[in-house]
Amino acid sequence: MNKKLSYKDAGVDIRAGEEGVKEIARLAKSTFNKNVIRDVGLFGSFFRLDTAQIKEPILVSSVDGVGTKLKIAFMADIHDTVGEDLVNHCVNDIMTSGADPLFFLDYIAVSKFNQNVLVKIIEGMARGCKKNSCALIGGETAEMPDFYQEGEYDISGTIVGLVEKEKIIDGSEIKSGDLLLALPSNGLHTNGYSLVRKIFFDINHFRVDDYIEELSCTLAEELLRVHISYQNAINVLKDQPFLHGMSHITGGGIVGNTNRILPTNLKLNINWQSWEPLEIFHLIQGIGNIAEDEMRRVFNLGVGYIFIVDNKFVDKAVNILNNKNEHSFIIGEVN
């Protein structure tokens, strides 16, 4: 063989990647605050930890992905929402403990580098970070030919937050009689997509650009709705003494996620008729012939976040949320 091989011949274009990094760096810098003390591009990211007002600072971290919701992004060729999904999901997770998000790191793996797609993903992440007052301080992009299908990618994110030790909310104060105060979701968020894809595309042969009368939008618009960040609502309640626990409703549904913070001697009593599930869940159940128990186990059914509050103060909690234009509703209690 006379031709000298290069990394590009093997499917990895270093020069194209370097060009994309410049735009990524600009987007990341747009999220920086005074605690970020170095630009992106070094071998590590630097964040000054301000603990002046905290006696016992505790770092809280979480890592997550978007799952097969990415498949919908590939099908629709829409890539500027999944990054924001990822940030909001991670923010909600660590804030269940009362932590404030500090910074976010991303990992993106691609089959072949596409600068336009990559920039769209980072645009979503940067938008999510700015909305949540969280700095996007670094990450990693890996070009991995033959590992992913052409035109596909995977993303994950790591978030780090801070909480005062004595203010950690871990469910240990939950008691019998506490009420479940729910915040609405706007759709599937980032869970249940493997089942949804099978129902809509494999079995019933929908297309992502099909307009669905019941939803008043295309299937892509519905399935790519950005996972809600509940930061504003959490911030107005997290320091209230009547708040005993919080759960983020992701994979496992309402029961599976809320049981994670429940003391072992207690159980949930959910009134499943106390709210009307979003239309997308009716549609999924109807065309997929899904049992009610399976729907409850897989999907959020219109509930994205739950506050567990002392029953004597639930009206106060509702009023506090209403004053911040945050709609809430009671869905059950702890026994």
Show the domains of the chain with their CATH numbers: 8-167 (3.30.1330.10), 179-334 (3.90.650.10)
Q: How far apart are CA 335 and CA 330, in angstroms?
A: 15
What pLDDT tens digit does each residue of the chain (335 aa) get?
A: 566 555 565 566 656 556 667 788 889 899 999 999 887 777 788 999 988 889 999 999 999 999 999 999 999 999 999 999 999 999 999 999 999 999 999 999 999 989 999 999 999 999 999 999 999 999 999 999 889 999 999 999 999 999 999 999 999 999 999 999 999 999 999 999 999 999 999 999 999 999 999 999 999 999 999 999 999 999 999 999 999 999 999 999 999 999 999 999 999 999 999 999 999 999 999 999 999 999 999 999 999 999 999 999 999 999 999 999 999 999 999 99
Neighbours of 65 (CB within 10 A): 18
Alpha helices in 146-227 (DSSP H): 193-197, 219-223
Counting every residue, how long is the chain? 335
Q: How far apart are CA 321 and CA 327, in angstroms?
A: 7
Q: How far apart are CA 222 and CA 208, in angstroms?
A: 9
Q: Which residues pair with 218 in a beta bridge?
A: 211
- The upper half-sphere exposure of residue 308, i.e. CA atoms within 13 Å in the direction of its Cβ, equals 34
Contact (Cβ atoms closer than 8 angstroms) between residue 209 and residue 219: yes
- What does the block give as tokens for 182? 């729910």
Give φ, ψ of 20 to 5 degrees: -65, -30
Q: How far apart are CA 287 and CA 34, in angstroms?
A: 51
Contact (Cβ atoms closer than 8 angstroms) between residue 280 and residue 300: no
CA angle 313/316/322 to nearest 5° reads 145
Q: What is the pTM of this model?
A: 0.93
- What does the block give as tokens for 151? 């035109």
The string of DSSP letters for 190-206 reads TSSHHHHHIIIIIIS--
First to last CA, the chain: 75
